[in-house]
Structure 1
Amino acid sequence: MKRFEMPVFVINGFLESGKTSFIKNVIMQDQFSDFKRILLIQCEEGEILLEQSFLDEYSIFVETIEEEQLRPDYLKLLQKKHNPWAVIIEYNAMWKAIRLDETKLPDRWEIYQTITTADASTFEVYRNNMKSIAAEILKNVDMVLFNRCREDMNLSSYRRSAKALSSGVQVIFEHENGSIMPLAEQLPYDIQADFIQVEDDDFGIWYLDMMERPESYTGKTVSFTGRVARLKRSKDGFFAAGRMVMTCCADDLQFLGFVCQYEDAEFVNEGEWIHVKAKITFTYRPEYRREGPLLVVDEIKAVKAPLNECISL
């Protein structure tokens, strides 16, 4: 890291979701030991106050700001005032839906990591009643920490929502006692089988698990129903097949699909519903901008649209 870059860490989440406690724990674990002075910008006053002795020990300078102060010139004044080596922004999820990475930060401020904290005991309420905001705090983040978890909660559903909105996100579940809870996705099919039949309502689970654990699917044959989408970047012989998925609300509808290779792809029509049988391989594809699934199609047949054309996670 170059000294003249200002590393910025964004911690987002609803009020009382554990943002301040998370920041304190991370700092106490010496994960910020490379930074001799830290500017903590709080966009709301949380339920946990940081003791002055803690702030002094770790050279942390706290500034609480209003929404209109979140602008480059004011942030630059705070930098000049405290001369920090790193900045932590404890964001307010209730502020208007702007993405900090789209907001013009001061020159040489660079967002290194974006983390969302969520209280698992109240997340379902937010997801049902404030869907667009709940989706916003899960989008384009590096890590989501669900705290205050219990075994009887639908944690797999929370994990799928986060994965759908941020495909590469790390999702962590923390028990009420503070310990990390391992979570194995309960798959609706036999992952050990050479042939996997994906039912219509299980497409989302299959999609997310295959994107996360490609090694578990390589070489297997899969059968599923999807809708055809044409690829803008590919040559003849390729198309995409997938489903429209609603992650939190109707505003968050998105197409989740896989690139398919088929010698007669030119005869497959945009928007057509098809049943596909294909061999799963993994290779670099420009559509994913990284390595991803390539389904080498064996059989295709036209079918009627499923009863539920849009699926939920």
Structure 2
Amino acid sequence: MVSNEETATRISLMKMTSAPAIVTTTFNVLADPAENNGRTPQSDLIIGIAMIILSVLCAIAYSIILVAIWRDKELIRMTSYKFMFVLGWCDVIQCFPHALMGVCATPFYNGYAVVTVMLSINRFIQLAFPQLDQTLFSPRAAMVWIGVAVGVMTIYFVALLTPWAAMMYDPKWYGWGWDFTLPASFYLQKMAMSIQVGGIILSGFFYIGVVIMLLRTRKRFAASRNYNTEVKILIQAGTITVYCSILNILWHNYKLILPDDLWTYCALNFMWILNSGVYPIIYFIVNSALRGKIVRATKETRKRFSNSFAKGDSSKVNGTSITRIV
């Protein structure tokens, strides 16, 4: 008789490598009996399909936003939107490797956390010390800030490529976790927690300062375009910070306030995926100009596709007619 522990070992815990790799195992979704934690073959299929659909939808939605920002020369020149653009890429890249390439998902989320802090500092400095903004967040300086975030990603990326640390996807729990049998995993996990939770505290501190500055200047600048832009950016950045705060606090401390079971862990992993969909939703709601561009771009794409399809259909008909005549 094979024990549950041996079965769990034989189940494909997909160790994250530099390329997608699914370990061959004896696990059979259709033949495996229901687990004691409530997992069944039916729930395997439902959860798996739901993860794929949610990841793809978030990636598509965010990609549309990124294209719109990139094409808007006025927005992409702003340091805050450069940071948001990098955040977007971190989110989109996280959508694709779920359960296949944790070597990408984990580093990019840590980079995402670092850029979130940078964005909050940028918003605060621009309002509180505008004379420093042109120095600390000039186009060249912005690239240095982004380079720091890329450096954090690279450290985690390289660390997870070594044999001393790994993130693993466990189908038994519908989620990701560190392989603590490897010596460096413990330290990398603690570093990640410090980056994520510490980033929340720092971002919260700076956004409180931003709110105070906006309240102080609203009478003087309420009618100006800059004030409205600042409010929009604050709503966008503040919303994602609140969401990430809830997510990170629950992720690292869920056993203190939530049931320690399969569905709690599964829900938290879905929150990770949905994290990539929060920004697109807020972008679409808050930015009327961006919303209009997306709608127009969608209509133009649909029109081009329809015209292309109609031309192709017409040429096929003409070709068929000629063939019949001959």
TM-score (norm 1): 0.25
Q: Which has the higher contact order (CA 8 A, sep 6+)?
A: 2
Q: Considering only CA atoms, is the larger Rg found in Structure 1 or Structure 2?
A: 2
What's the TM-score once normalised by structure 2's chain length?
0.24
Instruction: Give the structure with the higher percent helix.
Output: 2
Greater strand share, structure number: 1
